A and B are shown apart, each in its own frame.
Chain A
Amino acid sequence: MKNELFENLKELFLPLAALVAVIVLGFVAVPFLFDRIGILQEELAGVRADESVLRSRLQVLNGFATGAQSTSEKMILAFPGENSALSTISQVKLKAALGQVAVSGIKVGKGNTEGNISYADVDFDVQGPLTSTLAFLESLKKSAPVGSVREVKVTGIDESVGKSTITYRVYWSPFPQTIPSILAPLTDFSGEERDIIAALTALEVSGQTAVTANPPQTRTDPFGI
């Protein structure tokens, strides 16, 4: 009887051992396989996301490529990287000559910085009727570099020749030194930004309109001799 029991147990041992081995292998191998699959799926999603970002970036750049050179040059002139007061003074004199108003007492204030943008106030006096002064300021605002009228003090408005003291603010900001990573999303210009680009690239650059110098005037004899 003892022998029979031993024989029976021997008969059970192999299949039982095999089953246990398969179960243990399953508990070890299957999670490993699924884990590995999960890692690969994550990697694939990441690579596809990068590809999407790159394609979007390429599309934006291809859309901008036409006229990119001209646009960037005009934007630099409109909003320079360094103090633009001298360019503004040049425009003030040019526009005054064209607008037939007299400009004097040009002074440039100290540069200030607000955030990542710098500005300075250019003060000057304009002699002429208010309507001519208005037209002069309008033409100045349409000139590069970009600026804004901060204050106008007008005297003698009803006289044929009035006088205005104007404070005109000019802006500049250093250019970016680095380009964002190629994998960083690049968004195209919004409608509002395109309007700003159109407005800034339309600003007249000094030198586009020639101003002829007045010829020497005959000096009258002050003594009447």
Chain B
Amino acid sequence: MKTNINLLPDALRGRSDFARFSNYLRSAAIIAAGGLIIVGLLSGAYMLFLTSSIASAKSASGQVQDQIESIDTVEQQFILVKDRVEKIKPFLAARDSGDNIALFNSLVGSLPAGVKINDAEIEVDSIQFTFTTPDSRDLIGVFGTIAKGDLGSVTIENFSFNSTIGYVVSVVIQLK
């Protein structure tokens, strides 16, 4: 039977494959462990930084919160005013009949001299009035004045003639 005998001293003897592989594994384990330690140290340092930042931010928030609580009366007044404004806003934006009165007054002032306004009803979206005139030419003048105003649609509700007072006309203007 053949026996492998190596008479060379260990130092000169070549490393076996197993030994080489063992060294590679050892090196890999050391590198991996080193990498893991570095990652762990860096992560730990970053977590410490984050924790410190959180504490600092909470402290700053606490100070601001204290300042807000010291002016709680102002805060209540602000909320109250904000509430009032938000609730009344849509109603203030709506048309007001009061604006239409000035419009009607201006219209009346522009009518021909012979025209007499008997009565009027002024609402949010419309103006209704009745007028009389003995002269048919004044009718043209009235409708011409209304048309100039570009007020909206005009409907003649009533048109009649009275031998004493002349023409009696009821008009409804639907405002734009």
Contacts and interface: CB of A to CB of B under 8 A. Distances in A.
A71 B133 CA distance: 53
B22 A11 contact: yes
Contacts of A130: 105, 108
A19 B101 contact: no
B83 A134 contact: no
A79 B77 contact: no
A221 interface: no
Contacts of B39: 26, 30, 33
A36 B47 contact: yes
A71 B124 CA distance: 30
A141 B46 CA distance: 65
Interface in B5-26: 16, 18-19, 21-23, 25-26
Contact of B64 (A58, A76, A148): A58
Tell me if A's interface is mostly helix, strand, loop or mixed: helix
B122 to A, nearest CB: 4
Tell me if B's interface is mostly helix, strand, loop or mixed: helix
B85 A15 contact: no
Interface string B84-125: 110111011010111011100100100000001111111110
Interface string B124-137: 10000000000000
Given A12-B18, A25-B36, A44-B57, A64 B78 contact: yes
Interface in A39-54: 40-41, 43-44, 47-48, 50-51, 54
A60 B74 CA distance: 10
B153 interface: no
Contact of B97 (A44, A116, A148): A148
Interface stretch (A86-94, A102-110, A151-159, A207-215): A151-159
Interface stretch (B65-73, B142-150, B158-166, B167-175): B65-73
B104 to A, nearest CB: 8
A48 B160 CA distance: 78
CB-CB nearest 10 A-B residue pairs: A15-B25, A8-B18, A149-B98, A18-B29, A72-B77, A15-B26, A40-B50, A19-B29, A33-B43, A22-B32
22 contacts: A11-B22, A15-B25, A19-B25, A19-B29, A26-B35, A34-B43, A41-B50, A47-B57, A51-B60, A54-B65, A54-B68, A55-B64, A68-B78, A75-B81, A130-B108, A133-B101, A134-B105, A176-B79, A180-B79, A182-B65, A189-B85, A192-B89
